[in-house]
Structure 1
Amino acid sequence: MSTPDLNLLMTLDALLSEGSVAGAARRLGLSPSAMSRALQRLRDCTGDPLLVRSGRGLVPTPRAVALREQVSELLPRALQTLSPAPTLDLGKVNRTFTLLCSDGFVENFGPSLLMRLNREAPGIRLNFLPKVRRDNSYLRDGTADLETGVIGKGTAQELHARALFRDHFVGVVREGHPLLNGDITLERYIECDHVADTRHGLGHDPVDVALAALGARRQIVTSVAGFATALALARSTGLLATVPERHTRYLRTGMTTFPLPLAMAEITLSMLWHPRLDADPAHKWLRSVIHEVCMQ
């Protein structure tokens, strides 16, 4: 059995509403002969004459009367389904989005993001979750809606991305650290006891890569999986942490920050999402808000 032409729904609606072939033809911008052929196709599909001659006009059969209400409800829903999404009404949106990010991102930008949501879209909730895996699988399977991070070779190629801000690395120690007594040279920097971030893998941290290019190596006494933890250790010990400056702005409160005695390229923190959410109105709005907050 062949699949019916769903365009016939509009034809049937016009015929049942107008009660005449000529009226339905004018309504749909067709010729009377084209409408007569469409009526015959409807009769073939339904196995019913639908409209029959009565005097000089046409009257509906019982099947046509039964179909009239169904079609009047079905057709608007079908047209709505195949139409562009309605204009976003933030006051009526009731959704929860999950953003994968670091503790530093939450510390720096979380309060401003939540204030914007509460003020402009109180029905939208934003959950911040840590990135346990680095393969973007959370975006692919829909567990997360957005992710922030530095785009690298392991980033899935199908993901969409937008840059949020550029950042550079700085050194951080507790107040009164011996390193602060005098000029901070490369030699004194690498001789300190360091806490390293292992999310890139041992030896692949951008700091270690830059030092290796100079033929130097720092003294790493412990490693952690995140800048927030590295700073917490450095605050309570004599360890030196090397972290992105803007990303850790508030986490470094009460500590001493200094420029690194070696050249390092800036990094770009980006926002990533799966293509299936690219045209979603609420998701688009949330992406614009995150971008605006990070650009401030």
Structure 2
Amino acid sequence: MNFATFDLNLLRVLDALLSEGSTVKAGERLAMSQSAVSGALSRLRHSLNDPLFIRQGNRLVATDYAIALKNPIQEELERLETILAPPSAFEPRTATGVFRIAGSDFFAELLMPSLGDLLYREAPGLRAQLVDLVPHDYIASLERRNADIALIPDMELPEWVNRAPLFTSPFHVIARAANPGIEGLEAEDMMPVDVFCNLHHVLFSPEGNLAAMGDAALARVGKKRQVAMTVPVFSGVCRAVSESDLIALVPAQLAAKVAADFELAVFKPPMPIDPILIIGIWHKRNDKKPLASWVRGQVIDLMKQLDV
């Protein structure tokens, strides 16, 4: 390739194609027609001497060479964007743009209302989007969901990911207040282990697993429970408990938030369960992007208020 004559604008097209896997979607992202994107792809193939993408049905599948280019090109484009950005300080009140948060629907209850209020007051031109985590691969949410931050349980992270501890989340038991199985029990007390094990459970599991941390904790004290159903969203867990005689283990912060609206009684679990540390993670390349940095700081501050 002759770099002196290479059109650097083609790198933006390659970046969009690698992210979208479609000439149509890449064109929408870049405000280009599909034919213009196809023409740019043809020039890229000629310049880089590689097919770059193979059509598979309605989707373009990247070659190994193109995949190897994805992160370096994205990083260089963002580095150039930072270099060329105006030197003026970030001004939330006049800023426009989108900030994407990857997380479970737990954060629809515990983050988005307060973040929405904050943005309305301080940065009305910004939009926040809560998107699903990538199943089985939370770190991939930063790339595949184009997330500016992912809110996840603490875990080992690759070198290119930054982290911030947010809050520790213990677990509480929820049951509908009229559940006959909890008659005579005082809310906020510890639920007796026989009641906990005799009542059937709703389990939060996006993957449909029939066991989780609660089952491991019960096993350590020689007990087990009956999981009657799994639900992929916390709102569904709370709804199922509120309209049945099922119970559930949920994060303490969520239980406190929804108990009144769903008419739930909240109890401490009868066995020790290690609390989960929730962290925020983001790609290091976004460290100094003004918009992402500012909103990320607001999200982190709001989340730290949930620590108990």
TM-score where L is the length of structure 1: 0.67
Q: Within 2, Cα distance between the matches of 1:186 and 1:158?
A: 44
Residue of structure 1 aligned with 2:90, choices 88, 91, 109: 88
Residue of structure 1 aligned with 2:155, choices 152, 156, 179: 152
Does the residue aligned with 2:100 lie in a helix, a strand or coil? strand
**What displacement does 1:150 show?**
0.6
Distance of aligned partners of 1:211 and 1:91 in 2 relative to their CA distance in 1, 3 Å threshold: same
Q: Within 1, Cα distance between the matches of 2:296 and 2:304?
A: 12
Distance of aligned partners of 1:242 and 1:81 in 2 relative to their CA distance in 1, 3 Å threshold: closer
> Where does residue 207 of structure 1 map in the other structure?
214
Answer yes or no: is the 8 Å Cα contact 2:255–2:266 preserved in 1.
no
Q: Does residue 135 of structure 2 align to residue 126 of structure 1?
A: no
Distance of aligned partners of 1:293 and 1:81 in 2 relative to their CA distance in 1, 3 Å threshold: closer
Q: 1:231-256: CA deviations, max 9, x gaps? A: 11111111011100113433332211
Does the residue aligned with 1:289 lie in a helix, a strand or coil? helix
Answer yes or no: is the 8 Å Cα contact 2:90–2:291 preserved in 1.
yes
1:4-83 alignment, distance < 5 Å: 81=83
Answer yes or no: is the 8 Å Cα contact 1:166–1:268 preserved in 2.
yes
Q: Within 1, Cα distance between the matches of 2:162 and 2:286?
A: 10
- Tell me the matched-pair count: 220
Q: Within 1, Cα distance between the matches of 2:244 and 2:123?
A: 43
Distance of aligned partners of 1:176 and 1:95 in 2 relative to their CA distance in 1, 3 Å threshold: same
Residue of structure 1 aligned with 2:295, choices 270, 281, 286: 286
Q: Within 2, Cα distance between the matches of 1:206 and 1:120?
A: 39
> Where does residue 48 of structure 2 map in the other structure?
none
Percent identity over paired residues: 25
**What displacement does 1:200 show?**
6.7
Q: Within 2, Cα distance between the matches of 1:138 and 1:93?
A: 25
**What displacement does 1:260 show?**
0.8
> Where does residue 100 of structure 2 map in the other structure?
98
Letter paired with 2:300: H
Does the residue aligned with 2:154 lie in a helix, a strand or coil? coil
Q: 1:111-154: CA deviations, max 9, x gaps? A: 2111111111111110112224241223124622111121235x
Letter paired with 2:167: F
Q: 1:146-178: CA deviations, max 9, x gaps? A: 11121235x555321112211110000111212
Answer yes or no: is the 8 Å Cα contact 2:208–2:230 preserved in 1.
no
Distance of aligned partners of 1:249 and 1:209 in 2 relative to their CA distance in 1, 3 Å threshold: same
1:114-263 alignment, distance < 5 Å: 114-135=116-137, 136-141=139-144, 143-152=146-155, 156=158, 158-182=160-184, 184-199=191-206, 202=209, 204-253=211-260, 254-263=263-272
Answer yes or no: is the 8 Å Cα contact 1:227–1:248 preserved in 2.
no
> Where does residue 66 of structure 1 map in the other structure?
none
Answer yes or no: is the 8 Å Cα contact 2:208–2:231 preserved in 1.
no
Answer yes or no: is the 8 Å Cα contact 1:108–1:249 preserved in 2.
no
Letter paired with 1:113: L
Q: Within 1, Cα distance between the matches of 2:127 and 2:183?
A: 48
Letter paired with 1:140: E
RMSD: 2.7
Choose 1 or 2 for highest CA Rg: 1
Does the residue aligned with 1:96 lie in a helix, a strand or coil? strand
Does the residue aligned with 2:111 lie in a helix, a strand or coil? helix
TM-score where L is the length of structure 2: 0.64
Unaligned runs of 5+ in 2: 5-79, 186-190
Letter paired with 1:128: L
